[in-house]
Amino acid sequence: MKKDKGDRKPAPGDATPANAKVQQLAAHTTDGADEFLTTNTGVRVNDDQNSLKAGDRGPTLLEDFIFREKMTHFDHERIPERIVHARGAGAHGIFKAYPNAAALSRAAFLQDPSAETPVFVRFSTVAGSRGSTDLPRDARGFAVKFYTSEGTYDLVGNNIPVFFIQDAMKFPDLVHAVKPEPHNEIPQATAAHDTFWDFISVMPESLHMIMWAMSDRAIPRSLRMMEGFGVHTFRLIDAAGTARFVKFHWKPLLGLHQVVWEEAQVISGADPDFHRRDLWEAIEEGHFPEWELGVQVVEEADEHAFDFDLLDPTKIIPEELVPVQRIGKMTLNRNPDNFFAETEQAAFHPGHVVPGIDFSNDPLLQGRLFSYTDTQLLRLGGPNFQEIPINRPVTPVHNNQRDGHMRQTIDRGRTAYGPNTLARGCPMQARAAQGGFVHHAERIDAHKVRARSPSFHDHYSQATLFFNSQTPVEQQHMIDALKFELGKVETIAIRERMLVHLSHISESLAKPVAEGLGLAIPAKSDVHLNMSIPADTDPAEVQPRAPKPGKRSVKTSPALSMTSLPGSGIRTRRVAVVVADGTAAADVERIVSALEAEGAMPKLVAPSLGTLKLEGGGERPIDFSFLTTSSALFDAVFLPGGKRAMEKLVTMDPVFEFVRMAYRHLKPIGASGEGVELLSAAIAGLRPGGKPASTGAPGIITAGGALGDDDMRKFVGAIEMHRFWDRV
């Protein structure tokens, strides 16, 4: 049963930090219910349908202050969209630490396992505009705002643990390259064009990220079913002042799942808001998404123990070398009340940290510490964007910052400076023991240079590690993605440079891509592969090199393969039950009740909307017609029996295409009674991957008669598997 949003909020008298944030937002909320329409100054409006005129056919009068206020606000109600991560979805929730967290960091929100810290999370695509689709091949933003008792902490990351570049100096170039080309503003929300691959082909540091972006990680099934990563190396500081390096992970409890490329294209047409709608509906229905916060912790003494540099944002720490410790759980349990006021105006910043969390010298992170504030000054109108309710911390704010555009706080008192005596020295600085933030005292002795450490020069080994860690099916998806992307590139020289890079990663990757492009792989020595080095650098210093012997390394990492990280159960999986008037009532009741008992979401799909009249009596409301949905929007399909219904459905092309698409996309399909005949007729002649389609193929569950308990267990088990890669 759908839960009311109000049922999920803490009790009004609850004094938890989570409730404090709910009450703070509620104080700035109005729904206008049962109220008179007013102007912004509170004057009640008598007529909001007609402007003031000199006679009913005369000119509009300038004195119409109601019209002028309404139109002026409309003309100015859009703010600049984010340069990247423009298209997003957000949700409120809570975070609770596990008992093992307190030993790693003195951050207050990690100390008490019984305490709830309110959070706001924004997911996003990266390259496209606000109006683009949810399903491009792209990285996804994963930004979490913790409203802690010590101030706001933002963990700003992606669903991919590495990035394209090592130094923030290159970020404007990366974004200019991936965005639509400036002469014609084409293409939107895709990297499949010349300027992006031109940039990548002379920036080999990007190749590890490219492997992730060409994998199934870049087309997730749901925002609720993808990992998140902090990308950078940070530091955790414990109560004794000991610092340790850390990489942050978010592990979804629903498991990792993806769509296939054809499915992503279909979804973009059938429902371009698929991810945003999926997140919203899951929370509204009470199926709250959950992630565990994980950390990979490295002692400072082991900083140089690996065959890569911990400060290099294009590198991961393989989980086989440093396991992920799970130190807390985040639950998203409330949708925003207003998209613009909350999701669009949310301002995240990797520099928003609290005592117990500190930065490393990652050069990409260091540049982001400047960029994010600079961006919000333009996008949100000035230096007071932290006073917008969604950005306001739950802890009191005391400082000497005053005035500025859109100031909300009314400051009292004479002093706006420090030190002072007139206000008894307030606001006072806090000692470390009083919760004052103190940076880790790292010793640095170096010359000012524009350079990168030689330890940043290995650009291929982890790209190879990622490719070699994938299953054959996942490797083929990467090959196909590169064929598609590079096939859209018009400049042959760019394709050839990329083929040389791919050959450095793996010949088994480069050769099929080259065949798909109709090209030979050029000799590695004939192509200039790295234009990201300073003009006076010896090219020999940045040639592809093997990791140094004696360092900690792995050849493959099973944790990098999505198929090795399944979830448990079938909660929130969407199952299409294909029906028409005359469908067997017993089959429908059995399949719907069994799926709902497992937390899945069965939906009736029929030739037309309205009410389904069941064989044997009874009626049910129909959720979708074949014109208003697609099997690409579901995780599984079931065809129940009923002779009269099947006689109608077997004559309809949309039904056949609905079933065939599910079969091609390797999804579980169940059928009972006459539904087995419909399934057999629909897939006849299909040869996905060269294999003839069969009702006996993996993931196809059939019952010749009425549905039994064993049939349902098999179908539920098939849905849990998500896809059946051995079907092709």
CATH of the domain at 291: 2.40.180.10
The Cα–Cα gap between 439 and 237 comes to 9
Q: Residue 146: which H helix or E strand, with range?
A: strand 140-148
| The pLDDT of residue 35 | 86
Query: Is-contact 294 224, C-beta < 8 A?
Result: no
| The pLDDT of residue 552 | 85
For residues 559 and 588, membership in a common domain is answered with no
Considering the domain boundaries, does residue 2 fall inside one?
no
Considering the domain boundaries, does residue 440 fall inside one?
no
| The pLDDT of residue 542 | 58
The pair phi, psi for residue 120, each rounded to 5°, is: -130, 130
The Cα–Cα gap between 296 and 321 comes to 10
For residues 177 and 247, membership in a common domain is answered with yes
Please tell me which residue in 19, 28, 46, 85 is annotated as part of the active site: 85
With tokens 């808001």, the residue in question is: 273
Considering the domain boundaries, does residue 648 fall inside one?
yes
For residues 605 and 688, membership in a common domain is answered with yes
| The pLDDT of residue 548 | 66
Domain end: 387, 413, 438, which one?
387
| The pLDDT of residue 12 | 41
What CATH number does the domain containing 633 carry? Answer: 3.40.50.880
The pair phi, psi for residue 480, each rounded to 5°, is: -65, -40
The Cα–Cα gap between 568 and 556 comes to 25
For residues 604 and 648, membership in a common domain is answered with yes
| The pLDDT of residue 375 | 86
Give, in degrees to the nearest 5, the angle at Cα 560 between 556 and 566.
125
For residues 170 and 318, membership in a common domain is answered with yes
For residues 601 and 464, membership in a common domain is answered with no
Considering the domain boundaries, does residue 35 fall inside one?
no
Range of the domain at 495: 459-563
Closest by Cα among 647, 716, 711 to 675: 647
| The pLDDT of residue 539 | 61
The Cα–Cα gap between 382 and 420 comes to 27
- Taking 50 as the pLDDT cut, the residues of the chain under it are 1-13
Name, in order, each residue with C-beta under 8 angstroms of 481's C-beta and a sequence gap of 6 or more: 137, 214, 215, 218, 261
Closest by Cα among 336, 383, 368 to 123: 336
Considering the domain boundaries, does residue 60 fall inside one?
no
Please tell me which residue in 19, 92, 158, 159 is annotated as part of the active site: 158
335 an active-site residue?
no
Query: Is-contact 587 706, C-beta < 8 A?
Result: yes
For residues 523 and 606, membership in a common domain is answered with no
The Cα–Cα gap between 584 and 596 comes to 18
For residues 682 and 614, membership in a common domain is answered with yes
For residues 639 and 535, membership in a common domain is answered with no
For residues 534 and 622, membership in a common domain is answered with no
The Cα–Cα gap between 580 and 604 comes to 9
- Residue 124, strand partner residues: 88, 141
For residues 138 and 247, membership in a common domain is answered with yes
Query: Is-contact 132 332, C-beta < 8 A?
Result: no
Considering the domain boundaries, does residue 25 fall inside one?
no
The pair phi, psi for residue 613, each rounded to 5°, is: -100, 115
| The pLDDT of residue 530 | 75
Domain end: 387, 406, 425, which one?
387
- Residue 365, strand partner residues: none
Closest by Cα among 226, 252, 267, 234 to 140: 226
What CATH number does the domain containing 512 carry? Answer: 1.20.1370.20
| The pLDDT of residue 565 | 65
For residues 477 and 592, membership in a common domain is answered with no
352 an active-site residue?
no
The Cα–Cα gap between 357 and 243 comes to 9
Tell how far CA 229 is from the center of its chain. Answer: 10
| Exposure string over 590-600, b if 16+ CB within 10 A, otherwise e | bbbebbeeeeb
User: How many structural domains comprise the chain?
Assistant: 3
Considering the domain boundaries, does residue 399 fall inside one?
no
Helices marked H in 566-722: 585-597, 643-649, 653-664, 674-683, 709-721
| The pLDDT of residue 507 | 96
Domain end: 372, 387, 402, which one?
387
Considering the domain boundaries, does residue 211 fall inside one?
no
Query: Is-contact 123 90, C-beta < 8 A?
Result: yes
DSSP character at residue 76:
T
Q: From its phi and psi, is residue 201 left (phi > 0), alpha (psi between -120 and 50) or beta?
A: alpha
DSSP line for 503-526: HHH-HHHHHHHHHHHT-PPPPGGG
- Residue 611, strand partner residues: 621
The Cα–Cα gap between 47 and 151 comes to 46
- Residue 326, strand partner residues: 294
